[in-house]
Amino acid sequence: MRPGATKDEVAHYVDLMPDGTHRQYTSIQEAKSVITAPSGGQKLLTQGYYDITGLAWSGRGTVERVEVSVDGGRNWRKLGSRARSCPRP
C-alpha cells in the first residue's frame, strides 16, 4: 500500500514544474517583509520625516529591492541607500 496524502497536503505543498511534472511537498517561502519601527499601532504625533526600519527576506533568492508605502498602498517609494544585504546561511 502506498502512503496517501490529504487534500490540504496536495493543494498546498505541490508545485507544477515547467516540464509538466509535479514536485511534492515543497515549502519555498516567497518574499516577505516586516516593519520593525515605527511599531504597529504606534501613533505618529507630528508631521515630518520618520526613520522606517524593517526586514525583508525571500526563500527564492536575493531581495533585489524594497519599497515602502506610507499612504495605505496608493503610492510606493523605493528604499534608500541605507538598505543592506546579508548573505544566506
Q: What is the pLDDT of residue 75?
A: 94
Residue tagged 502506498 (cell numbers): 2
Q: Are 63 and 56 in contact (CB under 8 A)?
A: yes
3-state secondary structure at position 74 = coil
Is-above-0.85 flag for pTM? no
CATH topology of domain 28-89: Immunoglobulin-like (2.60.40)
Report d(CA 15, CA 25) in Å as an integer: 8
Q: Can you tell me the distance from the alpha carbon of 5 to that of 22, in angstroms, rounded to the nearest whole number?
A: 14
pLDDT beyond 80 at 10: no
In this predicted model, what pLDDT tens digit does every residue of 41-85 receive, in sequence order? 888 889 888 888 888 887 777 788 888 888 889 999 888 666 666
pLDDT digits over 19-35, tens only?
888 777 666 667 788 88
61: left (phi over 0), alpha (psi -120 to 50) or beta: left
For the chain, give every domain's residue range: 28-89
| pLDDT at site 29 | 67
My answer on whether omega of the bond before 87 falls inside 30° of 0, hence cis, is no
